């Protein structure tokens, strides 16, 4: 089956280099190398700079270096370096896992709406995909009864994402335990897209432990892009077991071969020193939530949202009688503001907003958005 056009990525590519205020961005404000040097302990910063300048630019270890896989494994309760495969972003991790786990005719239950890859790749592989919607009458939330109704005795894979892209819906520890119980009953795998791991809000909700810690058939996918602001490194990974990691590695030989060597070196330091890097997120998120809440209160007659409790994303509902694609294009072309059209996620009359942008850019983007919405 052919792959469906990736609607969100095609739309973002159209505008992302031409706008002033990207407030649809799904990750935290990107770091520079100088930022990393300043945030980590000075001895680590000096050692990293020397390593980057002195390293030959040859191929890296295909699975990710043993040092990086060891550092990543240590962030899970029950993972070894052989259980980890380092990938070219979380998007490659998901792609490899679908190709490793699924065959034509397999049954998949996947969260919806979602980053389109989580539906389109299983469909392209010939799987039967049923969608577990987080759209409820009173907003966005996971309903475990809906999942129970969708899972069959022959379900091969359940795909979840929490905190959720694009709505911000979350599964707490008790709900995740229920997901595990549902999967165990039929022997299903669970692919847990944990791109927003470590992105907690100051005074907000604590995120549950990675699902890989609690179920032998749970696979946790991670990335440096969202919580660390390092999408340019193109480093993701998954924690599964040695057999799945080895099979996915075999497929990866045909795709990207290995992570970038320089990215691997930086990633190791970032993971090991994350307690010095992650606190910057709290200030950015807190400031932008204050700005966003003021915007939604001031414009309650025309827009609303369900503020994220963790992670970075939410959906802005608007009252104007205009399709979300047309409105998003209008904002980008006329106001140079990027807010992603809800139609690319299958949610009309909504725009995706992210609270990880630089504070002044975020505030200006909302000011321009307000002017456009008022003009409608």
Asked if CATH classification 3.40.640.10 holds for the domain at 56-276, the reply, yes or no, is yes
pLDDT at 2: 83
pTM above threshold 0.75: yes
Residue 203 — very low, low, confident or very high, per pLDDT cuts 50/70/90? confident
Asked if 258 and 61 touch (Cβ cutoff 8 Å), the reply is yes
CB 327 within 8 A of CB 351: yes
Label residue 241 by pLDDT band (50, 70, 90).
Answer: very high
- CATH class of residue range 7-26+278-375: alpha beta
Looking at residue 219, its pLDDT comes to: 98
- The per-residue pLDDT for range 244-268, each reduced to its tens digit, is 999 999 999 999 999 999 999 999 9
What residue spans in the chain does CATH classification 3.90.1150.10 cover?
Answer: 7-26+278-375
pLDDT at 1 over 80: no
Q: Where in the chain is the domain with CATH 3.40.640.10?
A: 56-276
Contact 366, 292 (CB under 8 A): yes
Report d(CA 285, CA 294) in Å as an integer. 14
pLDDT of residue 21: 97
Calculate the average pLDDT of the chain. Answer: 96
* Whether the predicted pLDDT of 202 surpasses 90: no
Are the CB atoms for 29 and 355 separated by under 8 Å? no
Convert the pLDDT of each residue in 315-369 to its tens digit.
999 999 999 999 999 999 999 999 999 999 999 999 999 999 999 999 999 999 9
What is the predicted pLDDT for the residue at 204? 82
pLDDT at 52: 95
Q: What is the DSSP letter of 232?
A: G
């Amino acid at each position: 089956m052919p792959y469906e056009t990736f609607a969100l990525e095609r739309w973002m590519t159209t505008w992302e280099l031409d706008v002033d205020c990207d407030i649809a961005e799904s990750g935290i404000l990107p770091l520079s190398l100088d930022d990393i040097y300043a945030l980590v302990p000075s001895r680590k910063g000096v050692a990293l700079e020397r390593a980057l300048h002195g390293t030959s630019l040859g191929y890296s270890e295909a699975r990710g270096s043993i040092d990086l896989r060891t550092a990543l494994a240590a962030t899970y309760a029950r993972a070894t370096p052989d259980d980890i495969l380092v990938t070219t972003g979380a998007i490659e991790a998901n792609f490899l896992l679908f190709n490793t786990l699924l065959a034509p005719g397999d049954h998949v239950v996947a969260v919806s709406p979602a980053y389109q890859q989580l539906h389109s790749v299983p469909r392209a592989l010939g799987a039967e995909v049923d969608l577990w919607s987080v759209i409820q009458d009173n907003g966005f939330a996971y309903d475990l009864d809906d999942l129970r109704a969708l899972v069959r005795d022959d379900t091969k894979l359940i795909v979840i994402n929490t905190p959720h892209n694009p709505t911000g819906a979350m599964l707490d520890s008790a709900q995740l335990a229920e997901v595990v119980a549902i999967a165990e009953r039929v022997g299903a795998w669970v692919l847990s897209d944990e791109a927003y791991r470590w992105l907690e809000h100051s005074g907000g909700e604590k995120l549950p432990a990675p699902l890989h810690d609690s179920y032998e058939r749970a696979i946790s996918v991670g990335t440096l892009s969202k919580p660390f602001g390092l999408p340019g490194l193109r480093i993701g990974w998954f924690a599964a077991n040695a057999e799945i990691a080895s099979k996915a590695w075999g497929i990866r030989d045909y795709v990207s071969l290995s992570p970038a060597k320089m990215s691997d070196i930086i990633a190791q330091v970032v993971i090991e020193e994350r307690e010095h890097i992650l606190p910057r997120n709290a200030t950015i998120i807190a400031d932008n939530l204050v700005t966003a809440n003021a915007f939604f209160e001031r414009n309650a007659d025309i827009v609303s949202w369900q503020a994220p409790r963790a992670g970075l994303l939410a959906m802005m509902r608007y009252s104007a009688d205009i399709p979300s694609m047309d409105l998003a294009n209008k904002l980008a072309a006329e106001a140079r503001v990027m807010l992603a059209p809800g139609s690319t996620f299958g949610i009309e009359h909504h725009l995706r907003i992210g609270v990880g942008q630089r504070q002044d850019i975020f505030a200006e983007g909302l000011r321009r958005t307000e002017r456009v919405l008022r003009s409608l």
